[in-house]
Amino acid sequence: MQTKILLQDHQIPKHWYNVAADLTSSPAPILHPGTLLPVDPDDLRSIFPLSLIEQEVSRERWIEIPEEVLKIYQLWRPSPLYRAHRLEAALKTPAHIYYKYEGVSPAGSHKPNSAIPQAYYNKMAGIKRLATETGAGQWGCSLALANSYFGLETTVYMVRVSYNQKPYRKNLMELWGAQVIPSPSQHTAAGRRILNESPETTGSLGMAISEAVEDAASHSDTNYALGSVLNHVCLHQTVIGLEAIEQLKMVSDYPDVVIGCCGGGSNLAGLAFPFVRDKINGKQIRLLAVEPSSCPTLTKGSYAYDYGDTAKLTPITKMYTLGHDFVPPGIHAGGLRYHGAGALISQLRHEGIIEAAALPQNACFEGAVQFARTEGIVPAPESSHAIRAAIDEAVKAREEGKQRTILFNLSGHGHFDMSSYEAYLGGQLEDYAYPEENIAASLASLPRVK
Ligand SMILES: Cc1ncc(COP(=O)(O)O)c(C=O)c1O
């Protein structure tokens, strides 16, 4: 009855897995936000280093992880795979439940898996500062951490509602040397425009991305770094699934279902993409994305070309979207408040390889508390979506009297999310209705791409 399934330092994967190599149809081209024509990779040079642009469009299956990145990964990777014996017992389920725990990174989530290589490639390109957005603060912390390893400066535009909900995340970013600005702000033209129109806005990831992109594009020593969505971010995260495959082999098990919460899609991609190959090759395995019902991108959005940000500064990608000016309700899983989803996640969802479900926040917090009271770890509110879905799968296995192997990504811990737990335990947490009218209004302003 093994509980922790551990790999050694030398077993950290040496390559990232690029799912684009195994897709059955070509990814849709990325379009320029001004011309609506396919982007020339050179157009991206004002905000990204060449090495990351190359990864963004690569169809090579395996991409080598630089030695410098591996050395830093080694501080916490390989991350443990746990068998949730105590949760299984509480649920009286015949299912095997496994979770890959990414909260062991210094920042407390999976996000440094991409922050470290992004900082590394920018440092190699001679960049001095990185500008970025953050929702709940996990990505901002991860980039501040990564930049502190490589001696880069960090500017973080933090979604205002999270800035107010999670003050200690701000302190942590500052501790690692970042400047943190609540978004929308007076620092950028995009922020000033949004504040002018909606002075009381909660902010959104779409708005914060606009500010960070504008900051990077207008300073020659500064680049932009994104914590999710993009192909190269999903690529970097695949160390999670590659390790999990090896760890499951050690206990002679294989998942029937792989579950991840989904904001832009990077932690789900990280765990699930290495299993996509098996699925394409005929293996019976389900891959499940779980999103909040207040921001139901993959379950209620359109599969269409849209901007990645509110101010329409980013390239246009084909993805599931709720519309670039949809502002999701201020739920406590701030990292899941994004109007779009990664292009690769969206394509796989569209092709039926990934399934999606949307859950309300109270049910997710209930699952998180049950998890904390059995397994002990306090999950990030984002990760609680994966936990709820895993519990539901395990209960279904019990009701059907079937053994089933469930693998989910515990993408981060919730040590800085106590105000959300306080609200949940005090009965103060609201379940927002599906914001159908706002989504319809926002979808009406999608770019008209032929
Ligand atoms: C702990 C955690 N999990 C998940 C997410 C969602 O992002 P993604 O869908 O890119 O994994 C976030 C985003 O901030 C996060 O902090």
Report yes or no: 348 and 368 within 8 Å, Cβ to Cβ.
no
Atom of ligand 1 nearest to the CA of 228: 10
Reported as a single tens digit per residue, the pLDDT across 65-83 is 999 999 999 999 999 999 9
Reported as a single tens digit per residue, the pLDDT across 353-370 is 999 999 999 999 999 999
Reported as a single tens digit per residue, the pLDDT across 407-433 is 999 999 999 999 999 999 999 999 998
The answer, yes or no, to whether residue 189 has pLDDT greater than 90, is yes
Reported as a single tens digit per residue, the pLDDT across 11-21 is 999 999 999 99
Pair of tokens at residue 165: 């909900």
Atom of ligand 1 nearest to the CA of 262: 9
The amino acid occupying position 107 is: A
Q: What is the pLDDT of residue 264?
A: 97
> Which residue out of 266, 290, 364, 388 has the highest number of ligand 1 atoms within 8 Å of its CB and is therefore the one to mutate?
266
Residue nearest (by alpha carbon) to ligand 1 atom 4: 382
Atom of ligand 1 nearest to the CA of 270: 11
What residues are in contact with ligand 1 under a 6 Å CB criterion?
109, 135-136, 138-139, 228, 261-267, 335-336, 380, 382-383, 411-412
Atom of ligand 1 nearest to the CA of 413: 1
Residue nearest (by alpha carbon) to ligand 1 atom 7: 263
Distance 400 CA to ligand 1 centre (A): 32
CA 364 → CA 78, 160, 192, 409, distances in Å? 27, 23, 35, 14
Distance 132 CA to ligand 1 centre (A): 15
Distance 136 CA to ligand 1 centre (A): 8
| Measured distance CA(220)–CA(3) in Å, rounded | 50
Distance 336 CA to ligand 1 centre (A): 7
Residue nearest (by alpha carbon) to ligand 1 atom 16: 138
Q: 15-17 and 405-410 as β-strands: parallel, antiparallel, unpaired?
A: unpaired
Atom of ligand 1 nearest to the CA of 267: 11
Q: What is the pLDDT of residue 136?
A: 86
Question: Token pair 């209960």 is at which residue?
Answer: 395
Reported as a single tens digit per residue, the pLDDT across 216-230 is 999 999 999 999 999
Residue nearest (by alpha carbon) to ligand 1 atom 10: 266
pTM of the model as a whole: 0.97
Atom of ligand 1 nearest to the CA of 266: 10
Give the pLDDT band (50/70/90) at residue 396.
very high
Residue nearest (by alpha carbon) to ligand 1 atom 5: 335
DSSP string over 260-296: EE-SSSHHHHHHHHHHHHHHHTT---EEEEEEETTS-
Distance 397 CA to ligand 1 centre (A): 27
